[in-house]
């Protein structure tokens, strides 16, 4: 049954946390190592699960398994919670018989993702908090403080300095159209999210902008090098063919440029090019990674080498986030200082004019 917008919204608000997903896969790995079947494992996990939404999801999975569906198909019914790569890895594990190791790897990878997400949130919380405080403070000064102070130092119908008049006009604008401004900002955010997900040309433009902007590009590239190395090593370990692996990566990657590159590389592999030849000419990939693929591609060690490169890029990604944050904070400070300087100048200039007039008397 096709879900409408309201259903999707309810699911997004009610879905369990990443931590609860990690616990689910951890318990599934333990129960598999203990020799339990898939259905018995889910029944065991459900008895100790505290989150009601996840319990209901597990009940649905148990029912699907009773109806002879596979675990991957059961997980796919909750694709708003389980990612496509998780579902496909489970599907491959059911074929190869290494379910316990694959599920354990998924849990470990999700823990790494949880750590990275926590690091990003922690890194961005301080500059965002400072920015919001500064915005609120500037609006309060513009609307309530500055007009009164300027009026104190203004003589009759004397012409105000241009910067002061501009700031007063801005203050009047905020007073009169604050609701329209608030609605416009909310609409712009909603429109961006809609356009990015639904309008392909806008998505291409934004994704290309992400890979062209210097500081953002470093973060994006390192992130995708990590995801590519990690997922490809997991797919290879699960005996997924290179062509199918690249097709899965194309469906997983969100950035249009990387998605297209995976599809192009898949076509190259189908035309008997090597993976190195398919990736080496692209600026989207780190030359170090493509050279390593060139060296190890025809050996059985490529899977383990890709896993090691994933660890390298994961650590490098953390450092890149720290570097990007260290650059963002001074930019915010300069912007805030510039606005404060404009306000001070707008207040000081009429004061200076009045003092000059007094001295001339």
Question: pLDDT tens for residues 16-69?
Answer: 888 888 888 888 888 888 888 888 989 988 888 888 888 888 999 999 988 888
pLDDT tens, position by position, 77-123: 888 888 887 888 888 888 777 788 888 888 888 887 777 777 777 76
Q: For position 351, what pLDDT does the model report?
A: 72
Provide the sign of the torsion angle of the four alpha carbons 30, 111, 197, 279, taken in this order. Answer: negative
Confidence label for 327 from pLDDT (cuts 50, 70 and 90): confident
How many CB atoms are closer than 10 A to CB 177? 12
For the chain, the average pLDDT equals 82
Residue 4 clears pLDDT 70, i.e. is over it? no
Confidence label for 260 from pLDDT (cuts 50, 70 and 90): very high
pLDDT tens, position by position, 334-356: 877 887 787 777 777 777 766 66
Q: Which residue has the tokens 């990003």?
A: 120
Closest to 167 measured CA to CA, from 350, 332, 334: 350
pLDDT tens, position by position, 121-139: 776 777 777 778 777 877 7
Q: Where are the alpha helices (DSSP H) in 199-301?
A: 200-210, 214-237, 242-252, 256-270, 275-279, 287-296
Confidence label for 259 from pLDDT (cuts 50, 70 and 90): very high
Q: For position 153, what pLDDT does the model report?
A: 60
Question: Could you tell me how many helices (H) and strands (E) the chain has, helices first?
Answer: 16, 0
- The encoded tokens of residue 316 equal 């490098």
Burial class (CB in 10 A: 0-12, 13-18, 19+), 265: buried
The pTM (predicted TM-score) of the whole model is: 0.72
Residue 9 clears pLDDT 70, i.e. is over it? no
CATH superfamily of this structure's domain 5-112: Type II secretion system (T2SS), domain F (1.20.81.30)
271 close to 292: Cβ distance less than 8 angstroms: no
Confidence label for 2 from pLDDT (cuts 50, 70 and 90): very low
Residue 258 clears pLDDT 90, i.e. is over it? yes
203 close to 178: Cβ distance less than 8 angstroms: no
Question: Average pLDDT of 1-11?
Answer: 52
pLDDT tens, position by position, 149-197: 666 666 555 577 777 777 778 888 888 888 888 899 889 988 988 888 8
Question: Average pLDDT of 212-222?
Answer: 85
Q: For position 150, what pLDDT does the model report?
A: 67
Using DSSP, state whether 50 is helix, strand or coil.
coil
Residue 6 clears pLDDT 70, i.e. is over it? no
Phi, psi of 360 (to 5 degrees): -80, -15
How many CB atoms are closer than 10 A to CB 161? 16
Question: Alpha carbon of 160 to those of 170, 198, 283, 337, 346: distances in Å?
Answer: 14, 49, 54, 23, 9
Question: Alpha carbon of 20 to those of 16, 63, 81, 290: distances in Å?
Answer: 6, 21, 11, 36
Q: Spell out the domain ranges in the chain.
A: 5-112, 121-361
Closest to 237 measured CA to CA, from 317, 186, 301: 301
Q: For position 262, what pLDDT does the model report?
A: 93
How far, in Å, CA of 25 to CA of 58, rounded? 12
């Amino acid at each position: 049954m096709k879900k409408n917008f309201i259903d999707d919204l309810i699911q997004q608000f009610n879905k369990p946390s990443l931590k609860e997903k990690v616990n689910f896969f951890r318990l599934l790995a333990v129960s598999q190592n203990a020799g339990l079947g898939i259905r018995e494992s889910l029944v065991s996990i459900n008895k100790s699960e505290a989150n009601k939404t996840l319990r209901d999801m597990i009940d649905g999975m148990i029912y699907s398994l009773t109806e002879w569906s596979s675990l991957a198909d059961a997980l796919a019914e909750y694709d708003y919670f389980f990612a496509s790569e998780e579902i496909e890895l489970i599907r491959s594990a059911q074929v190869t018989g290494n379910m316990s190791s694959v599920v354990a790897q998924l849990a470990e990878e999700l823990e790494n993702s949880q750590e990275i997400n926590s690091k990003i949130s922690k890194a961005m919380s301080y500059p965002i908090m400072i920015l919001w405080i500064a915005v609120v403070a500037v609006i309060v000064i513009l609307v309530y403080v500055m007009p009164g102070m300027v009026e104190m130092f203004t003589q009759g119908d004397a012409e105000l300095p241009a910067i002061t008049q501009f700031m007063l006009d801005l203050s009047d604008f905020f007073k009169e159209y604050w609701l329209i401004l608030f609605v416009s900002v909310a609409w712009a955010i909603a429109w961006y999210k809609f356009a990015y997900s639904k309008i392909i040309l806008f998505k291409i433009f934004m994704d290309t902008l992400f890979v062209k902007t210097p500081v953002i590009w470093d973060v994006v590239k390192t992130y995708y090098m990590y995801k590519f190395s990690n997922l490809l090593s997991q797919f290879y370990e699960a005996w997924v063919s290179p062509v199918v692996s690249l097709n899965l990566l194309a469906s997983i990657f969100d950035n249009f440029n990387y998605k297209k590159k995976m599809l192009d590389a898949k076509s190259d592999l189908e035309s008997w090019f090597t993976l190195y030849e398919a990736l080496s000419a692209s600026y989207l990939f780190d030359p170090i990674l493509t050279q390593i693929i060139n060296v190890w591609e025809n050996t059985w060690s490529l899977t383990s080498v890709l896993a090691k490169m994933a660890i390298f890029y994961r650590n490098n990604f953390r450092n890149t986030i720290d570097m990007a944050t260290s650059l963002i904070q001074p930019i915010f400070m300069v912007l805030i200082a510039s606005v404060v300087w404009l306000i001070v100048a707008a207040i000081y200039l009429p004061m200076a004019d009045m003092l000059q007039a007094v001295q001339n008397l």
